[in-house]
Amino acid sequence: MSKSGEETRTRILKACWTLLEQGPDAPARMSDIARAAGVSRQAVYLHFPNRTELLIATTRFVDEASGIGERLATSRATTGGPARLDAYIEAWANYIPVIHGVGSALMAMAANDEAARAAWDDRMAAMRHGCDAAVQAIVRDGALCPGLDPVRATDLVWTLLSVRNWEHLVIDCGWPQGDYVSETKRLARAAVVADTP
């Protein structure tokens, strides 16, 4: 892709990001995004053949621009299962406030908007992959709770880390972010890590 083409693509992604952060009622059709980016609809379609691909690309662009790789580096480098679980929770839990505007818009739109649902599902699948990696490290350590299989353990961690749970505790209940992180770590360990003698 030419430099000008890459610049246009980036403008489109930034415009879509900005519109999503305005909330679920902000106009986010292809024409709205083109207008916000200062390009034609044809230019948007040249880079993104449909709205689903544009929204998915936008969420991945948000991740890249927000340094998700660096945020996850400690978790990925940690070998011990329980420590990796803690590191993953710390990384994701502290990332939720960064992506909350985009995430809440996509979640609200998802009920009636297939493209928004696909974009949010794509990111939640990536987040679940991180939960699974932490659980697999626990399994390798022989530290998974007795009677709990790895899939269910991943289900539990993934659910504990949902954006909705963060909203309930931090926004609705007024928990400080640090308390949310520490309590989520404690709950996740209690749910999936075996008691040690």
pTM above 0.85, yes or no: yes
pLDDT score of 141 more than 70: yes
Give the model's confidence band at 138: pLDDT under 50 very low, under 70 low, under 90 confident, else very high.
Answer: very high
Q: Considering only CA atoms, which of 92, 19, 26, 13 is closest in space to residue 56?
A: 13
Question: What is the pLDDT averaged over residues 2-8?
Answer: 81
What confidence score (pLDDT) does residue 186 get?
97
Give the model's confidence band at 197: pLDDT under 50 very low, under 70 low, under 90 confident, else very high.
Answer: very low
Which residue reads 């083109």 in tokens?
34
Determine the Cα–Cα distance for residues 14 and 19; give it in Å rounded to an integer.
Answer: 9
Q: What is the pLDDT of residues 71-90, one digit of tens each?
A: 999 999 998 999 999 999 99
pLDDT score of 145 more than 80: yes
What confidence score (pLDDT) does residue 4 get?
74
Q: Considering only CA atoms, which of 41, 16, 46 is closest in space to residue 109?
A: 16
Question: What is the pLDDT averaged over residues 153-158?
Answer: 98
Determine the Cα–Cα distance for residues 42 and 139; give it in Å rounded to an integer.
Answer: 50
pLDDT score of 157 more than 80: yes
Backbone angles phi, psi at 123, to 5 degrees: -70, -35
Length, in residues, of the chain: 197
pLDDT score of 191 more than 90: yes
Q: What is the pLDDT of residues 11-40, one digit of tens each?
A: 999 999 999 998 777 778 899 999 999 999
What confidence score (pLDDT) does residue 109 get?
87
Question: What is the pLDDT averaged over residues 99-116?
Answer: 90
pLDDT score of 159 more than 50: yes
Give the model's confidence band at 1: pLDDT under 50 very low, under 70 low, under 90 confident, else very high.
Answer: low
What confidence score (pLDDT) does residue 10 get?
94
Instruction: Please enumerate in sequence order all residues whose Cβ is within 8 A of that of 1, keeping only pairs 6 or more positions apart, or say none.
Output: 9
